[in-house]
Amino acid sequence: MAHQFKAAINQLNKVSQLRHITYDELEILRRPDRVIEVSLPVIMDNGKIKVFTGYRVQYNNTRGPYKGGLRFHPQVNLDEVKTLAFWMAIKCAVADIPYGGGKGGIAVDVKTLSLSELERLTRAYTRGFADFIGPNIDIPAPDVYTNPQIMAWLMDEYSHIKGENTPAVVTGKPVEIGGSLGRETATSLGGFYVLEQVLAKLKIAKHKVSLAVQGFGNVGMNFALIAQAAGFQIVAVSDSGGGLYNEKGLDLKAVLAHKQKTSCVKNFKSAKNISNEKLLELPVEVLVPAALENVIDENNASRVKAKIILELANGPTAGGAEDKLSKKGVLVIPDVLANAGGVIVSYFEWVQNLRHFYWDQAKVEDRLKRQIMNALEKVWQTMEAQGNNNMREAAYIVAVERLVKALRIRGI
């Protein structure tokens, strides 16, 4: 077992000791159902053929079809895809939606591809995996460096292969071809609902809360805008090029206009430039890592000053860091709960596709709030029953108990 997947399974092992989970049940949960690797030959614009490697990992469909993102990134490897598929299985169980975990990826730097090469690569991936995906088998969605347009190509290619229009094969599609209203901001809005409720439980008034958001992509940016509109003070944001800090608060609309003009947030006139590393150590109430994995590790955990960490990225807190944060009394709202808004609204999109009946945005957001609040309540009660401040442990307990219960009932 490689490093990242091993760390994820260690969390599962810990939880199984806290609950009466048999060795046999644990053995099933420790392994993905299916790991698929496919060679994808693509004709490039220069007429030469380049062969890419595509992955899909399907992790436990006891509670429903596999579900999970498709990422295009140079660092994509099997260990990472397995880990993300496992996390998706946990996340769907925490959110209590009828899905298992899945994840896919291609090792590619999309910045080196033309639009037509990107389309041909997406269609090649779809052909390579057409027998393993589908509305009742495995439903991909956007992830790192994939977007609604890529989902549209995937759905179109799959529909051609199957000989019928099949919008429910993917989620995160454009609204014009069966995407759901509210999907674009779902991860951010779900995270905001969770944070608001946690602050209410801790009796912390929002006007006393300052936030730093690492990652100003779709999720981080939308979260920051939603939080600022609700009265929270955003004092720092960053993207891959670096960050900004103004302890009195940032004007995010102006920051956004600056980023659109210069393609990065730094050198904004009314804020100090800071590094991504320094942003994590700012004296704020809430830190929101919304970019990459493992940004808070054993080296910098002791310098984190935030009282609450809201994980909008997948796996931003490395295993060893969590113990240090916990000892300092930092409350980590784990990714499997904090960013579950995306998969919840993906589930709503799939339901709408299957019924050919579409909801307005208010209905989507109202149902998202209800679903994620129920998940938070269950996790919070479990954490209180455990008598600690470890929300990740509580979330895993909730998920693993639901998965094991389904295993027992089905008799696998």
Encode pLDDT of 91-105 as tens digits.
Answer: 999 999 999 999 999
Domain contains 363: no
Please report which confidence band the pLDDT of residue 294 belongs to, taking 50, 70 and 90 as the band edges. Answer: confident
Residues spanned by the domain of 328: 186-338
| One domain, residues 224 and 298 | yes
* Residue 218 assigned ligand-binding role: yes
- Per-residue pLDDT, averaged over 302-311, amounts to 94
Is 67 marked as a binding-site residue? Answer: yes
Question: Residue 225: inside a domain, yes or no?
Answer: yes
pLDDT at 159 over 60: yes
Catalytic residues: 103
Burial readout 309-336 (b: 16 or more C-beta within 10 A, e: otherwise): bbbbbbbbbbbebbebbbeeebbbbbbb
**91 carries a ligand binding annotation:** yes
Pairing of strands 66-72, 100-106: parallel
List the one residue out of 181, 157, 182, 184 whose CA is nearest residue 169: 157
Q: Considering only CA atoms, which of 36, 16, 39, 35 is closest in space to residue 27?
A: 16
Q: What is the pLDDT of residue 1?
A: 44
Number of structural domains (the chain) is 2
pLDDT averaged over the chain? 94
Question: Considering 177, 200, 219, which residue would you say is the last residue of a domain?
Answer: 177
- Residue at 353 is within a domain: no
The number of helices, as runs of H, and strands, as runs of E, in the chain is 14, 12
**3-state helix, strand and coil shares in percent for the chain, rounded to the nearest 5:** 50, 15, 35
Give me the CATH number covering residue 129: 3.40.50.10860
Question: For residue range 126-142, what is the model confidence (pLDDT) as tens digits?
Answer: 999 999 999 999 999 99
In this predicted structure, the answer to whether residue 325 has a pLDDT above a threshold of 70 is: yes
β-pairing, 66-72 with 34-43? Answer: unpaired
